[in-house]
Structure 1
């Protein structure tokens, strides 16, 4: 299969979410680290570009609250310049181009030269990467994928927002079912995704599709 127009989209696989000691630990997220590691290697092996979104908050972030409801607001997590905001080692992008949400950045076509750059980090200050970083839209246009493969955390918050945003802008959106993990007490989006023609596959199915 020609994978030239494929893009992997790694959502928020950061220490504060994945490790039990993290500030906003997602129950059992560490159990799917092998899938994330395999996806990272698959992308490298097939020269597939990867967008890595990352929560990157300051104390005044709208989603942070000292008395959070764990639906719209959460305790402090993935704070700027802290270890908790870093990607876990299984997904840590190699030599990425980093796009901060709170700084001006001149985006040029050279940044998306396949021979030079394969990994991109989009830092965000909202659940939705398109709302949380004003550069996301133009980055996606430059990458211009036909198929985007989504994985990460959390299924019913940031992954959901990414899937729905990508669904409006990309022809094919695939979610790796056994490479996502949800938070409790928030509805799961699977039925809504299917209605929007999002394809849900297991990792072994994805590997077969890529051959």
Structure 2
């Protein structure tokens, strides 16, 4: 299979979400670390670029609240410059190019054509990476993938927003169903994904599709 137009999309696999001691721990997320490690390896060994999204908040962020409802607002998490905002070891991007949501960048095609660029970090200040960082659309247009493979946390918040945004702009979107985890008390998005042509796939099936046995 030709993987040249593939892109992996790692959603918010950050310490505050994944580790039980994290500020906004997603119960059970730490059990997915082996799958995330395997996806990181797959991308590297197949020279597939990875977009790594990350919550990166300051104290005045609209989604932070001292009395959160855990649907639209949440307690402080992934605060800029803190350990909790870092990626877990299994997905920590090698030599990434970082795009902060509150800075300006000159984005040129040459940057994305470089064989040395394999990891991008898009930091965001909203659930939806397409609204939480104004550069996301431009970056995706420059990368111009035909197939995007999505994984991370959380299924019914930030993963959902990424999948919906990608499904409008990319030919094929896969979500690795045994590499995502949801938050409680928020509806699951699977029916909506199916209507958009998004396909759920298990990691084992993905590896087989990519030619791994």
Q: Matched residues in 1 for 2:200 and 2:72: separation?
A: 26
> What is the match of residue 21 of structure 1?
21
Give 1:38 shift. 0.0
What SS does the aligned partner of 1:155 have? coil
Per-residue CA deviation, residues 16-58 of structure 1 (Å, 9 max, x unaligned), is 0000000000000000000000000000000000000000000
> What is the match of residue 187 of structure 2?
187
Give 1:204 shift. 0.2
> What is the match of residue 175 of structure 1?
175
> What is the match of residue 109 of structure 1?
109
> What is the match of residue 134 of structure 2?
134
| Pair 1:100-2:105 in alignment | no
> What is the match of residue 161 of structure 2?
161
What SS does the aligned partner of 1:177 have? strand
Check whether the contact 1:97–1:111 (CA below 8 A) recurs between aligned residues.
Answer: no
Q: Matched residues in 2 for 1:127 and 1:19: separation?
A: 19
Give 1:119 shift. 0.4
Q: Matched residues in 2 for 1:111 and 1:14: separation?
A: 26
> What is the match of residue 198 of structure 2?
198
Q: Matched residues in 2 for 1:123 and 1:129: separation?
A: 8
Q: Matched residues in 1 for 2:199 and 2:157: separation?
A: 18
Between the two proteins, the alignment pairs up a number of residues equal to 211
Q: Matched residues in 2 for 1:129 and 1:114: separation?
A: 24
Per-residue CA deviation, residues 123-160 of structure 1 (Å, 9 max, x unaligned), is 00000000000000000000000000000000000000
Give 1:105 shift. 1.0
Q: Matched residues in 2 for 1:143 and 1:7: separation?
A: 8
Give 1:114 shift. 3.9
Query: Which runs of structure 2 are paired with 1:46-125 in the superposition (5 Å)?
Result: 46-125=46-125
RMSD value over aligned CA atoms? 0.5
Give 1:111 shift. 1.5
Q: Matched residues in 2 for 1:152 and 1:18: separation?
A: 10
Q: Matched residues in 1 for 2:91 and 2:41: separation?
A: 9
Give 1:108 shift. 1.3
Give 1:113 shift. 2.2
Per-residue CA deviation, residues 85-116 of structure 1 (Å, 9 max, x unaligned), is 00000000000000000011111122212412
| Pair 1:44-2:44 in alignment | yes
Moved over 4 A (4+): none
